Amino acid sequence: MSGNGRPPDSSPKVGVLLCHDFPVARAGLRITIDTESDMQVVGEADDVESGMDLVDELQPDVIVANLYISGPGGNGPGGLDALRTIKARDPRVKILVQVDQESGDYFLLVMRAGADGYLTRGAAPLEVVNAIRSVRNGQNYLDPSLVTRLVNTYVCKTRSEGLEDRYDALRERERDVLCLVASGHTNSEIAQVLRLSKQTVHNVRARLMEKLGLHDRVQLVKYAIRRGIVSTKDL
């Protein structure tokens, strides 16, 4: 029997590549995964950028990648680029991202970059292995702790009436900036996350506000809450 009661079978094991910069946490994930009868760790790397170079060699089925989107030492810009590169090279590979952040602010950014699942670093071992199985089977996975927040923002959005919504007119980069501005990030922080110049971020921000008919950040935040992009709990 496996660690969560699943009977062993003769199917090939799911190969997992771990990309995590903390050796102790990585070792814990390896033990958790290798305990399961239907999966095994086939390799390790310090981050998803380093792991990108191992994909062709190891042919993993699932990559579990710890990602820091922003902040000191953050690997967000490079990490997001690495996700896109991996998916472009081999769409077969499933990517499960763990983030050191629990509000769900970066959910859209990570999923747009190519992730198949989104977990917080506080996820329990059983949740991690269930998430690996889900993405391996072609399903997207979202950390249960974030589901209620996303549902609440969706309900908030659908209850709004008589409001002109020009969101569909925004380009992907404008949507990314909207998400980050509404989450409280400065232009400098956004420039770091998206790997853009501060002037470019300023221009994109001005353009999206013009398209949405907004005049200041307060209006932008209210719009983002109404549209379901962020929740009041995340502010």
Is pTM beyond 0.75 here? no
Sheet containing 62-67: order of strands? 39-45, 14-19, 62-67, 94-99, 117-120, 141-142
Closest CA to 98 of 132, 138, 68, 59: 68
pLDDT in tens, 44-59: 999 888 899 899 999 9
Single out the residue of 112, 132, 149 nearest to residue 35, CA to CA.
Answer: 132
CATH topology of domain 162-234: Arc Repressor Mutant, subunit A (1.10.10)
pLDDT > 90 in the chain, percent: 37
Per DSSP, the three-state class of 193 is: helix
Mean pLDDT of 1-20: 71
Domain residue limits, the chain: 14-142, 162-234
Please state which architecture CATH assigns to domain 14-142: 3-Layer(aba) Sandwich (3.40)
Q: Which of 135, 99, 93 is nearest to 117 (CA)?
A: 135
Contact (CB, 8 A) for 38 and 11: yes
pLDDT tens figures, 111-156: 888 999 998 888 888 899 999 999 999 999 988 877 766 666 555 5
Tell whether the model's pLDDT for residue 77 goes beyond 90: no
